[in-house]
Amino acid sequence: MSSAPDLQQVLEGSDPVAEALQSLRMTGTFYCHSVLTAPFSIRIPEITDCLMFHAVTEGSCRLRAPDGEEHALERGDLAVLPYSRGHVISSDSCRKTVDLFDLPRELLSERFEILRYGGGGDRVRILCAAACFDHPAAHRVLDMLPGVLILRGTGQGMRSDIENILSLMANEARYLQPGGETVITRLADIVIIQVIRSWIAEAGAAHSGWLGALKDPRVGRALQLIHRDPQRQWSVEKLARGAGMSRSAFSARFAELVREPPLHYVTRWRMELARSWLKRSDRSIAEIAEGLGYGSEAAFTRAFRRISGETPGRFRRGQGFDGGQA
């Protein structure tokens, strides 16, 4: 019988950054196909813990970011706000700004609506989406992004694959057919991943912090091990062996790149997963404790309270979801 592969063999040829990007599957997505005519100025309110993007499929408009900076958007441009803080979409000739939720909208389904608004001038079509991400890796990626990320359309450097996907989304939104929402959601997943991949390839900030640690050939392997198997009883020695380093060299390198010691990261990662499961799943607290490698619910509760400042049950109730708990 052949021996089981060691940790390095398990990870050989894999990409920790690619695995992190696989977590970027949007949930709770809501779409709005906006058909606007100048002059118009619409304030989009903050939507907690959600990403929002605006794809301009016809005409042009302006986006005023949360920091007050304005961005001109043309047909084919895509604006991504990693955390949907309040911002304004307007025509060049702005008039009084109105709140989005004060405008009448045609609800086509639970997750898709059409907004028609404006003064009757030049027309703009925008496909807007607000979406949440459950996985902690997704939140760590989003935390690295700038407040507004803009990809320019035809002839201005946008990759043709993203442009083609946006064109498909625009057609699905304009002529919504049965199953169209599912098609748009899947395409939106791809767009967001491609946008972030482009940013990672080009931005200096993507080479530091957590993403920079994932790119490190050795520390990235250790992070990958933790992410793949959070239930395992990790030690510094096991992680160092997976990284192909001595214990002392690994500890120093990990702390330098990740900015906390290895076992602190293990615990924090487990608690981030726990918060995600407490929010979205119907697993009991005991099942979550077992799934994260804790020998008892009490041990898990102590760790959760130490990191989060409250018990798992209180956290879950604060999300408006009791998970079937008594």
pLDDT in tens, 11-27: 444 677 777 777 666 66
87: Cβ–Cβ under 8 A, 6 or more apart, which residues?
43, 44, 63, 64, 65, 66, 81, 148
Q: Cα separation of 132 and 156, whole Å? A: 29
pLDDT of residue 262: 97
- What is the helix (H) or strand (E) element at residue 19, kind and residue range? helix 16-21
Residues 242, 221: contact at Cβ < 8 Å?
Answer: yes
Residue 278 has pLDDT above 80, yes or no: yes
Task: Please indicate, yes or no, if residue 208 is contained in any of the structural domains.
Answer: no
Residues 242 and 296 in one domain: yes
Domain enclosing residue 228, as ranges: 216-318
Task: Please indicate, yes or no, if residue 6 is contained in any of the structural domains.
Answer: no
CATH of residue 71's domain is 2.60.120.280
318: Cβ–Cβ under 8 A, 6 or more apart, which residues?
310
Q: How confident is the model at residue 1 (pLDDT cuts 50, 70, 90)?
A: very low
Residues 106 and 181 in one domain: yes
Residues 52 and 199 in one domain: yes
Task: Please indicate, yes or no, if residue 210 is contained in any of the structural domains.
Answer: no
Residues 74, 56: contact at Cβ < 8 Å?
Answer: yes
Residues 139 and 223 in one domain: no
In this predicted model, what pLDDT tens digit does every residue of 202-223 receive, in sequence order?
Answer: 766 666 788 889 889 999 999 9
Helix axes 180-202, 160-174, angle to 10 degrees: 160
Task: Please indicate, yes or no, if residue 305 is contained in any of the structural domains.
Answer: yes
Of 170, 203, 236, the one marking the end of a domain is 203
Q: How confident is the model at residue 4 (pLDDT cuts 50, 70, 90)?
A: very low
Residues 162 and 267 in one domain: no
Helix (H, G, I), strand (E, B) or coil at 70: strand
Sheet holding 50-58, edge to edge: 105-109, 112-118, 27-37, 123-132, 50-58, 78-81, 149-151
CATH of residue 274's domain is 1.10.10.60
Burial class (CB in 10 A: 0-12, 13-18, 19+), 325: middle
Q: How confident is the model at residue 8 (pLDDT cuts 50, 70, 90)?
A: very low
| Mean pLDDT of the region 166-175 | 76
Task: Please indicate, yes or no, if residue 20 is contained in any of the structural domains.
Answer: no
Task: Please indicate, yes or no, if residue 55 is contained in any of the structural domains.
Answer: yes
Residue 158 has pLDDT above 60, yes or no: no
In this predicted model, what pLDDT tens digit does every residue of 66-118 receive, in sequence order?
Answer: 888 899 999 888 899 987 778 999 998 667 899 999 999 988 777 788 899 99
If one counts the domains in the chain, the total is 2
Residues 105 and 197 in one domain: yes
**Beta partners for residue 72, in sequence order:** 62
Query: Of 256, 116, 111, 124, which Cα lies nearest the Cα of 185?
Result: 111
pLDDT of residue 28: 66
Residues 124 and 273 in one domain: no
Residue 33 has pLDDT above 70, yes or no: yes
Task: Please indicate, yes or no, if residue 42 is contained in any of the structural domains.
Answer: yes
pLDDT of residue 93: 67
Residues 193 and 61 in one domain: yes
| Mean pLDDT of the region 114-131 | 91
Task: Please indicate, yes or no, if residue 324 is contained in any of the structural domains.
Answer: no
Residues 226, 234: contact at Cβ < 8 Å?
Answer: yes
Residues 137 and 179 in one domain: yes
Of 180, 203, 226, the one marking the end of a domain is 203
